[in-house]
Chains A and B, each alone.
Chain A
């Protein structure tokens, strides 16, 4: 069965510090992978998606970037965090007609 792992679960980072969030998928190959952000009490905003190794599409221009160095690994990064980067970050993969399966999420607080 397909599973998705995301870490860390929570993170408190100072403004201006770097960020690296990692997501890995098991049990499937060449999945579509997605990074979403959810601000407190808000909906889900698509940040990046990837259909294969090295292929990244950006939905929102900002100081975040994404990379896919391996088929089942998706990384979200920032060189310098802003206060507005705080939120709940969710990685997801698409499994045909079974919809998205989300990771457990990373709650990021920038202080």
Chain B
């Protein structure tokens, strides 16, 4: 456990509704990431953050937005959920806290959120 908490762990929602997933870390890592995992695709990067209020798009960012107002929290929002966004979502952190350089390039993952859009 690398001090990463994702909430909720499971969610079922209806098409067209907004959904926000939360990632909270206690490790003071600089970089945070949101991935989605789908069969046959592995993990695909949605958005990432390289500091407070510093975010950028990944390879599958359409339909998603993110925000990072504090070092420890990274939110993923689906403004209007669609069935194609049914997936397992993982938050990850890397960069390491200050003083532990060897761990910096390792990416640590949360437990995942299973989202079903009906």
Chain A complexes with chain B: no
